[in-house]
Structure 1
Amino acid sequence: MRVLAAMSGGVDSAVAAARAVDAGHDVVGVHLALSATPGTLRTGSRGCCSKEDAGDARRAADVLGIPFYVWDFAERFKEDVIDDFVASYAAGETPNPCLRCNEKIKFSALADRAVALGFDAVVTGHYARLEDGVLRRAVDADKDQSYVLAVLTAEQLARAMFPVGDTPKPRIRAEAAERGLAVANKPDSHDICFIPSGDTRAFLGAKIGIRPGAVVDSDGRELARHDGVHGFTVGQRKGLGLPGPGADGKPRYVTAIDPESGTVRVGSAEDLRVWTVTADRAVWTSGRAPEGPIDCVAQVRAHGGTAPAVAEAVGDGLVVRLREPLTGVARGQAVVLYRPDEVGDEVMGSGTISGAGGVDETVGEAAAEVNR
């Protein structure tokens, strides 16, 4: 096959491209310029799209003996990822920009251009596995990225390749060194790539501005003032602007955010427990929504936050009724559904969380329907 290897300048994408070459594919490397003002150097493991990253990707392509290009996707990245990120926080949501980048940039904009140029698939260094079109967790659980890939449609998965998902990260670094790739020991990037300072609140404040509101307790009593709901997320414990714990001596957490009134509600850890999750923009990796309720394991954060559940397609969205409560569930996050077998690594579908609530009396009914 003729495949396009997305090369970020890191070790994972370099080894993924190398494995595609080894498999006999006709490989072309491409680095995505996602920043309109790329820095000269990264700050340790923070940031991306620097001139250093582009240079590292080019050198890796040279070692592999494959053609290499740099494509400018900065404007598309700004519109589909950065602007979406800012708008979501302004609306009191907690978005995942990596998830949106995969959906809108790497497996939409990039893949569409690749297909238009005659390529059959896009190769990336994501830690996930594809087996007969089925998306699965990576072998290395600590590096697994199936959660942020669960927004991909069956059509997008059909033209994707994840060559490193079957290998633990230490072995990937060792392989890179064996191949003579200079990025073998390059630090992994983390946090939000377009906020190299790591100060998300300052970044959002500069974009959104001051929109004062109140921090209130569960009874609606005002406890403090704030400069904008973009500085908070459900489940947050620190940086609330409060002098100390609640009257009961226990920590307080953000339990709800109302962007219209600018109200941030805080409460106890128990107040964070939810039993029902609703989501919009459902994606089913099989290409079609299930008929009736299905048993699954729901995950609401990239690492952690899982519970057995019953899910059901409702229009273009889905409803997930949890058998065990989850905490820190925020609008804008993704809920990803995994098959509840002994392995539990197959992605069934996903949706963007639009709401969460307490005990739902239909949990038992849905569970009974599944078990019939």
Structure 2
Amino acid sequence: MNVRFQRCVANLLCRALLFLLPPHQRDWALAIQAELAEIPEDTQALLFALESFRGLAPRAIGLLLMQPVLSLMAAEVRASRAGAGGGFGVVRGPSPVGVLCAVGAAAMGLVYLTLAGAPVRYLGGNVGALLIGLVLWALARRIPASVGHASGALILGLSALLLVTSLLGLRVEGASRWVGLGGVFVQPSLILLPLMLVGFSRTRTPLATMGIVVAALAMALQPDRAMAAMMTTALAAVAATHADRPTSLALLASLLSLAVTLLRPDALPATPFVDQVLFSSFSVHVLAGLTVVAGLVMLLVPGLLGGARDEDSRLARRAFGAAWLAAVLAAVLGNYPTPVVGYGGSAILGYVLSLSLLPGPVRQGEDTASAAPDEARTSRDLHSKVSLA
């Protein structure tokens, strides 16, 4: 192996640890990085980095999986302290509540799939998608706010992926909406479009607007009435209170896309455990039907809760709620995937990812300057942590 390549891999492992570890434990990664710089031989440096990564990465990933639960617990503790001590009132933000709704809706879906006699691998697929989504949620929540200026470029890049799917994706009955990944078929629009719509509601830049227009073109080409309706409904909810030029242009593009999808034929049959779940669940058992209804209601809760910190936060909640309401209605009215409670990891990933852009818990009246960041704590002995690692 090339010597420079070994050193590069070692440095990348250190950076990965620095990103994965929570703020109060990042000194471990800094200590490993400092120790790595003192090792002159590149092979030994790589072995040291690999061993350090093997020791700390499982802990970091475990903390990421637990972060949604810990966030909710922290919000509850702050709420109880505020109520007991007469301190600052806590407005429950939709992010931790949204995670509970995602987990609850997925659990309702597992109950339905079990009662309906779905294959075990369907249940495992939904559980796996939920776990992956929670990890991505935790990672997305830790991205610094300073990179927000790149949101428009990100939306444009994601829209290019949707356009590629419409041109080169798996085609079934004239519709091209899916991509095969190692034997698993996913629907990129159901994963990416909710995230893009919530992001656009907060970042209405020229690049973001262009991305929404490209996404509308992709939905017309696929064609996908459900996703075109999701775009139109979410953008209409934003335009109802904030009809600026970017929003109006994006809404016009989505309306044209929806019109094209309505004119083009859509002959896809219903897929068991995926489409028409609301009606088929009651034919299985009344309990299965009630769990599906409960799960679908849970999906809409995050768009209705949370403190209104600023205009962008309110618009984000409206776009989120409108997008998933449209997805639910499309699943009821046509042969389209029933989000989260039906079989399919794409909707689960899309739902959890779109949660990451919603505002979190807010303490009204709190002086934010008084909150000392973790990074301002007294510096620790880095080399002692290397020894412990």
- Is TM more than 0.5 here? no
Identify, as 1 or 2, the structure richer in helix.
2
Which is greater in Rg?
A: 2
Looking at both structures, which has the greater relative contact order when contacts are Cα pairs under 8 Å and sequence separation is at least 6? 2
Superposition TM-score, scaled by structure 2 size: 0.25
Identify, as 1 or 2, the structure richer in strand.
1
